[in-house]
Structure 1
């Protein structure tokens, strides 16, 4: 009985194994080796086949090659080689691959013209994006593409006025059409409305002209329409609301005028509405609140107007990025915006907003970027106190507000322990009075500090020397005085090891609104102090200070005295140095000729003496860089150095 049971358990396994073997053997009998014509054509394509990982060889079956797939008859159906570092051109032999259905050579370095010999009636996907192709796309290609689903030639240099009628007649099956980042000219094509399956149409960053054709509003399957950075004019017609499948609408950086269609709220699937850098006007249509799937709304740099506080943002719960900067909006900061709990970045700069920051903003737990610059906000003490509660805030840019108020200090804040993650603080051009507050010294992650063009008094605080991440400081155009703090030498972000990491990190993370603010971008290490700053240098302080490795050193318009330290020559990355309008004395150190990157040098209006160094970068500086120093001599100032200068007396160390 046991044996019988064991036998019954084994038999199904054996039968299944036999069936698999039979199927595989049958399948292999029908699988043909690579067609010889196809193999020869592949080897003659013209681009290099020596890329690492490619195993193309005439001695092996081409159906087994890297990036190649064949059909059951041994005909090449897939040529799929993206990101392989391929160079060269595509030869006419590609036309012999008459069963090709999938062609992807994207993200290589291929050049030449579009392969006009491509003649497969089976072709479904053509992706030649991100190469160096140029010239026109031949209209003949579209007579053979009845099955084409995806056509992507983005990020090349294709040119010319395309025969749009040839495209439209043949592209009844097309679903994804990407022509972006080329040099195409002419109008947006007529006839796209007859492409009933078209989901993606991208043709941004070209030279397209004219207005949006009416029939584009009948392409009801469209999910993405992206025509940014062209020369498209006219208005966005209300017919756009017929595209109810639309998820992404990008028409920024054109010459569009008129209003946002009042029924835009019918596009309930819309996730991204990007219309910045146009000449659109009017107020925000109230129906926009029905676009409940919006994650990105960018209307920056237009002529939108109206009281922004009356718009109901509370339904846009998925909104992550809001950019309404550089418009004509009035009113106060919208309280309903505090309901958008997904917000990470808000830019309302360069409008005509007034009033105070609402305490409800602390509900935006994910907020990391806030720019409100160039408005008419008031109560800086309240603003700082409230914003300290935004625990994830990394960039705060609020210049040109709070006019003539007093910089809040610790005594006037309920908490001086906020801003734990703040990396950029911009409070310039507010005419703020008072001193640099000590709560700034607790911002351990701060990288960029701009308090320029205020009316701050006192001295530069020594606690800045403990702010290990700081690499851009601007206190220019204030009333600060006193000694230059040697504690600045402790700033590791101004030393060589931290150089590029800090700049790139800030640029990558906070470049979102770079176009509308002066604080975001790839900051080099800059130290700026001028306008009535007094410094009496000693040897030890000078040596310590010169451990800072800067790209730009601006100490002009101050009361600095003493010699130019020879150790400045150790600042090998220095590109600009301005020591003009001080009380510096002694000679210009010859060692400064080692600063091979120095492109601008100014020591005008001091008490320097002796010979101006010659050679190297010094031969490129104009005589105006040395004016106002009557005891300097040399060819550049046309003053002979035949008279021996008086002995130099060094200050006590």
Structure 2
């Protein structure tokens, strides 16, 4: 409570007689001022406190109204107590810069100190805790403070709230700053998340045996470097409501005494090395609203009586080693809004589970498991659903027309299953008017790609931003109705059997910035219209496009066989993938207009002519792959000016002359240039240009062409074998539990 200076109001019992109403109102206003504002005639704030505040000398963009000529009790962020001593220093989000001066320790009457959300840096003063022994609230969160926490010898501390989160503190947490407050039963909140603290979490300090008088309700140690086996003794903090220690390196099983915390509402321990089973005792935490244990090594089934947690709103157990079917009791968790069990080894008939009781469910992620059967009909009664992922399971059947009743559905991924009837699926899905992300990759195998114009004539798919249909072996041509998807930003048609030319109308899609048509049978050339795609050429178009939030993450599988997670479209690299088709002709000189592109892959085609010098204008380019074509002439020396280029290949072409040196070219290996006997010189090729034949041209063409054609045949054979034995390869926007195989690399999965 903020204490104000005392004020005296002189009045008489007879003053109310015969006073007009307007005067009463005026008098009432002055009484309010006198009662609730410090008296301007009272003594100025303490000289020691004023000098201490002036010594802080914070740097700010807009000056504080701190002046030695005025009473410091009236300064911004300052509140004084009854004895004119400063009790509150409260300047959150004020743009403060610099370090915290040791002079702050002279403010010995401080009870509330809040300098959060500023740009303060450096160490904390050594005597901060011992000198400010009256502190009840300390909030220094979201700054750039670093170093160890100072050790305190004070025995009278009565801290209630300590928030040091989101800084750069390291070392261990000294018990000396905690024991007095814990012993006094005053400490209620302790948050040191998002720092670099190490060692063990000092649970024994917070939760001593027999300390049931403790008022601790919130403990947050997440995002640090704690690495000891997981703590015990937490059960004696009987009033604890929130416990977070995720994103550390904690190991071992969940301690049983956690299950004694009857008031616990949030238990968050993700991204550690926890092992063993989730004990049945967890069902005793009947007040639990959030349970986060994802990205650990927990095994065994989900406790069968998990439905006892009827207040549960979020259950996140993904990326573990869990087995078994969905517990039947889970449908008793009627408050559940998020259920994420992705990347486990769970199984059973999914259609046997009754989802209809989960009316508040908004997010359901069961991807990368071994669930079988058909898509559950009961799910269509969950009208609040906004995101559903069933990718990488063993589901069969068709998508029901009832899915159109999920009016809020924005994200749907059913890739890598055994679904059929693509035409019916598209017809039913067009009724989901709010769909923004649709991932159907590696399903509907060997069916025609639906080309029904009515799919969009009725307003279907008009909010689609991500459309992934890779690895389905779809036949036919790129359907013209795709050209009416004006919000489309990411399109995947890779690893199919599509024929015909690349449609020039792709350039009319104002938001398209990621297009993968690789691994098809497309013919013709590189349409120069593509060089005018607004999403790759216009800053204005990019700013207008919605590339922000995705309800569930999508993943990119890289050449290193690792999955890069993306939670928003703006993080995806603007790209054109046309590799492994039957495209030919020259690369258009207009390609230099794609100034915002990061990845350009034209490999394994039949492009001829020279490499356009205009590529030098692609100043954001990070990957350029022109390998396995029939390109001739020299490598333009101007390409070395592309300072962000980290991956480059012109292997197996008919290029000749000196390899450019300097810049990024000094980082590329011989594999970037092999298969071009006409190339010579440093930095990578050992052939000296003086040793090369004097007659330029196609002297090595027969050998190179033979090598190229041989490799194309081998590619085709391998490609056919992979599909013949049932392995889905290629671009799929989803999670991949099995290592990626095939030619299609750097793709969304």
TM-score (norm 2): 0.78
Cα 1:64–1:627 change in 2 (3 A) is same
5 Å-filtered alignment, 1:319-338, equals 319-338=361-380
1:114 to 149, 152, 167: 149
User: Is the aligned partner of 1:531 residue 2:583?
Assistant: no
User: Is the aligned partner of 1:172 residue 2:220?
Assistant: no
Deviation at 1:330, TM superposition (A): 0.8
5 Å-filtered alignment, 1:576-587, equals 576-587=623-634
Cα 1:577–1:209 change in 2 (3 A) is closer
Which residue is equivalent to 1:547? 593
2:648 counterpart SS class: strand
Which residue is equivalent to 1:124? 160
How far apart are the structure 2 equivalents of 1:465 and 1:518?
Answer: 28
Q: Does 28-37 or 109-118 show the bigger shift?
A: 28-37
Once the two structures are superposed, what CA deviation does each residue of 1:610-651 show, in whole Å capped at 9, x if it has no partner?
Answer: 444444444443344333334444453514357655599xxx
Once the two structures are superposed, what CA deviation does each residue of 1:382-404 show, in whole Å capped at 9, x if it has no partner?
Answer: 11111111111011111111111
Q: Does 340-349 or 206-215 show the bigger shift?
A: 206-215
Which residue is equivalent to 1:310? 352
Residues 511 and 541, structure 2, Cα contact 8 Å, conserved in 1: no
How far apart are the structure 1 equivalents of 2:257 and 2:273?
Answer: 19
Q: Does 634-643 or 165-174 show the bigger shift?
A: 634-643
Which residue is equivalent to 1:50? 59
Cα 1:455–1:122 change in 2 (3 A) is same
Deviation at 1:68, TM superposition (A): 4.4
Residues 68 and 80, structure 1, Cα contact 8 Å, conserved in 2: no
1:365 to 394, 407, 420: 407
Residues 69 and 76, structure 1, Cα contact 8 Å, conserved in 2: no
2:118 to 56, 59, 84: 84
Higher relative contact order (CA 8 A, sep 6+): 2
How far apart are the structure 1 equivalents of 2:261 and 2:25?
Answer: 55
How far apart are the structure 1 equivalents of 2:43 and 2:272?
Answer: 50
Which residue is equivalent to 1:297? 339
5 Å-filtered alignment, 1:67-78, equals 67-73=77-83, 74=85, 75-78=109-112
Cα 1:99–1:195 change in 2 (3 A) is same
5 Å-filtered alignment, 1:159-198, equals 159-169=198-208, 172-198=214-240
Cα 1:237–1:10 change in 2 (3 A) is same
How far apart are the structure 1 equivalents of 2:218 and 2:173?
Answer: 17
How far apart are the structure 2 equivalents of 1:21 and 1:434?
Answer: 80
Residues 510 and 541, structure 2, Cα contact 8 Å, conserved in 1: no
Residues 590 and 614, structure 2, Cα contact 8 Å, conserved in 1: no
How far apart are the structure 2 equivalents of 1:515 and 1:147?
Answer: 49
Deviation at 1:303, TM superposition (A): 1.5
Which residue is equivalent to 1:419? 461
5 Å-filtered alignment, 1:484-523, equals 484-495=526-537, 497=539, 506=547, 508-509=549-550, 512-514=553-555, 520=566, 522-523=571-572
Cα 1:140–1:595 change in 2 (3 A) is closer
Which residue is equivalent to 1:140? 176
Deviation at 1:99, TM superposition (A): 1.8
Deviation at 1:40, TM superposition (A): 6.6
Cα 1:619–1:139 change in 2 (3 A) is closer
1:362 counterpart SS class: helix
1:459 to 491, 501, 513: 501
Residues 70 and 77, structure 1, Cα contact 8 Å, conserved in 2: no
TM-score (norm 1): 0.89
Residues 344 and 369, structure 1, Cα contact 8 Å, conserved in 2: yes
2:250 to 208, 218, 237: 208
5 Å-filtered alignment, 1:216-365, equals 216-365=258-407
Unaligned runs of 5+ in 1: 649-653
Q: Does 62-71 or 559-568 show the bigger shift?
A: 62-71
Which residue is equivalent to 1:473? 515
How far apart are the structure 2 equivalents of 1:621 and 1:18?
Answer: 79
- Give the aligned CA root-mean-square deviation in angstroms: 3.1
Deviation at 1:35, TM superposition (A): 5.5
2:609 counterpart SS class: strand
**How many residue pairs align between the two structures?**
638
Residues 578 and 603, structure 2, Cα contact 8 Å, conserved in 1: yes
1:201 counterpart SS class: strand
How far apart are the structure 1 equivalents of 2:303 and 2:82?
Answer: 53
How far apart are the structure 2 equivalents of 1:357 and 1:21?
Answer: 69
Deviation at 1:289, TM superposition (A): 1.1
Cα 1:237–1:34 change in 2 (3 A) is farther
How far apart are the structure 2 equivalents of 1:48 and 1:274?
Answer: 46
2:119 counterpart SS class: coil
2:606 counterpart SS class: coil
Which residue is equivalent to 1:651? none
Residues 623 and 637, structure 1, Cα contact 8 Å, conserved in 2: no
How far apart are the structure 2 equivalents of 1:468 and 1:153?
Answer: 45
1:599 to 646, 660, 664: 646
Unaligned runs of 5+ in 2: 1-15, 86-108, 558-562, 699-749
Deviation at 1:33, TM superposition (A): 6.0
5 Å-filtered alignment, 1:433-444, equals 433-444=475-486
Which residue is equivalent to 2:136? 101
How far apart are the structure 2 equivalents of 1:287 and 1:269?
Answer: 13
Cα 1:150–1:118 change in 2 (3 A) is farther
Which residue is equivalent to 1:640? 689
Once the two structures are superposed, what CA deviation does each residue of 1:522-571 show, in whole Å capped at 9, x if it has no partner?
Answer: 2222111122423223xxx8233332233222212111122222222222
Deviation at 1:345, TM superposition (A): 0.8
How far apart are the structure 2 equivalents of 1:455 and 1:295?
Answer: 40
Once the two structures are superposed, what CA deviation does each residue of 1:189-214 show, in whole Å capped at 9, x if it has no partner?
Answer: 43333323211111111222222222
Once the two structures are superposed, what CA deviation does each residue of 1:370-415 show, in whole Å capped at 9, x if it has no partner?
Answer: 1111111111111111111111101111111111111111279695
Deviation at 1:271, TM superposition (A): 0.9
Q: Does 547-556 or 34-43 show the bigger shift?
A: 34-43
